[in-house]
């Protein structure tokens, strides 16, 4: 049996668009392999051309069907598309419950489409570990548009808007009261709203309600661009072309208004902070042995507070904490 190909060699093959290399590199990114770190850094430097679109919304709103139909529309426009479908994790294996090809139907076999499911494994914010590095891999491999479809967890979807250039929030009629989107905290993160299941009689009311709420918020927020609301019916392929046009129009708006680079910079900042959190967590896990018992005993007799114990633990791994 041949040894696995070094990640740096895989990275070079990724940049030529080799599908097998892409799949292997995605697995190493998701696993957080130390050996892959240098290769992922190389891939990051070669990425930056794709239009990244976050697709989010409450469970049951029809995101997966919509993504499949949108992907088919992107293909018709002559573009290559990557899809990262973030799945809830299996409670037994930690793997993703739903399969790539089952979710995406007819588009999954097209050579210009790459579909990958990633398990959240308990991660908050709707995104799995390695999601953004997976975006880099598909970007560097030459995919023009990359969709991130999230699990749909309400207010934690804020991570999606920090990861994507354009965020589409999918709502479905009849899933709750008229202000559910506001209560979930996802109304304001949308660059484009899509109302699914447009064949239902309540769909027009949902569209009207969303437009009214967005109209009220526009002057108060000082926004220069009205957020479009598109009614769709994915099984009938109604509204899909219009929705894709609005997604493309949003990217054009970002570029023409000068907001594209600031948004990309905000994504870079968020990624740096998330990486710092991860590195700190790893260092904490590595150095906490031998120190925890004494601190827990001090907490038990209330001689120190949890805040003081935390500061002492961080000091133990060499991190200075301001008083």
Domain residue extents for the chain: 1-46, 47-257
Alpha carbons 182 and 184: distance in angstroms, whole number: 5
* pLDDT score recorded for residue 158: 63
Of 67, 45, 65, 69, the residue nearest 55 (C-alpha): 67
pLDDT at res. 323? 58
The pLDDT, as a whole number, for residue 277 is 80
Supply the pLDDT for residue 166: 95
Q: Which pLDDT does position 59 carry in this prediction?
A: 74
pTM, full prediction: 0.84
Tokens of 205: 């009311």
Specify the pLDDT at position 96.
Answer: 44
β-strand partners of 113: 81
Q: How large is the angle between the packed helices 19-31 and 37-46, nearest 10 degrees?
A: 120
**Roughly what angle, to the nearest 10 degrees, separates helices 306-316 and 292-300?**
170
Sign of CA dihedral 121, 123, 125, 129: negative
Print the SS3 string covering 133-146.
Answer: HHHHHHHHCCCCEE
Mean pLDDT by 10 residues, the chain (323 residues): 82 95 93 88 94 86 87 95 76 42 65 84 54 93 94 59 87 63 64 88 84 66 74 90 96 95 91 81 72 83 89 74 59
The b/e string for 123-152 (b: 16+ C-beta within 10 A; e otherwise) is bebbbbbbbbbbbbbbbbbbbbbbbbbbbb
Tell the residue number behind the tokens 């479905």, with chain if given: 172
How far is it, in rounded angstroms, from Cα 21 to Cα 165?
26
Residues listed for the chain: 323
Q: What's the rounded Cα separation, in Å, for the pair 151 and 64?
A: 10
57 forms beta bridges with 170
**For residue 56, which of 95, 26, 85 has the smallest C-alpha distance?**
85
pLDDT of residue 41: 94
- DSSP of 64-87: HHHHHHHHHHHHHTT--EEEEEEE
Q: What is the pLDDT of residue 285?
A: 74
Alpha helix (H) ranges present in the chain?
Answer: 7-14, 19-31, 37-46, 63-76, 100-104, 131-140, 158-163, 180-184, 203-221, 240-257, 260-287, 292-300, 306-316
| Homologous superfamily of domain range 47-257 | P-loop containing nucleotide triphosphate hydrolases (3.40.50.300)
């Amino acid at each position: 049996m041949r040894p696995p190909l070094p990640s740096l060699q895989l990275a070079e093959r990724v940049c030529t668009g080799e599908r097998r290399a892409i799949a292997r590199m995605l697995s190493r990114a998701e696993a957080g392999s130390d050996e892959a770190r240098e290769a992922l850094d190389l891939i990051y430097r070669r990425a930056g051309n794709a239009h990244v679109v976050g697709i989010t919304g409450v469970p049951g709103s029809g995101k997966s069907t919509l993504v499949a139909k949108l992907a088919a529309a992107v293909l018709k426009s002559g573009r290559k598309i990557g899809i990262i479908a973030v799945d809830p994790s299996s409670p037994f294996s930690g793997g993703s419950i739903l399969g790539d090809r089952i979710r995406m139907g007819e588009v999954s076999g097209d050579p210009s489409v790459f579909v990958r499911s990633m398990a959240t494994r308990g991660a908050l914010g709707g995104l799995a570990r390695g999601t953004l590095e997976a975006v880099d891999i598909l970007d560097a491999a030459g995919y023009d548009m990359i969709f991130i479809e999230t699990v749909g967890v309400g207010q934690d979807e804020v991570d999606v808007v920090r990861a994507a250039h354009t965020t589409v929030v999918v709502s479905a009629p009849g899933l709750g009261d008229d202000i559910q989107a506001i209560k979930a905290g996802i109304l304001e993160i949308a660059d484009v709203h899509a109302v699914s299941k447009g064949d239902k009689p309540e769909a027009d009311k949902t569209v009207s309600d969303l437009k009214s709420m967005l109209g009220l918020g526009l002057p108060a927020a000082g926004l220069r661009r009205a957020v479009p609301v598109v009614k769709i019916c994915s099984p009938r392929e109604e509204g899909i072309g219009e929705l894709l046009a609005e997604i493309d129009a949003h990217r054009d708006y970002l570029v023409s208004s000068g907001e594209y680079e600031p948004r990309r910079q905000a994504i870079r900042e968020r990624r740096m902070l998330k990486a710092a959190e991860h590195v700190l967590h790893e260092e904490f896990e590595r150095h906490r042995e031998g120190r925890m018992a004494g601190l827990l005993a001090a907490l038990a007799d209330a001689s120190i507070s949890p805040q003081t114990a935390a500061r002492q633990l961080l000091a133990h791994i060499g991190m200075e904490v301001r008083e």
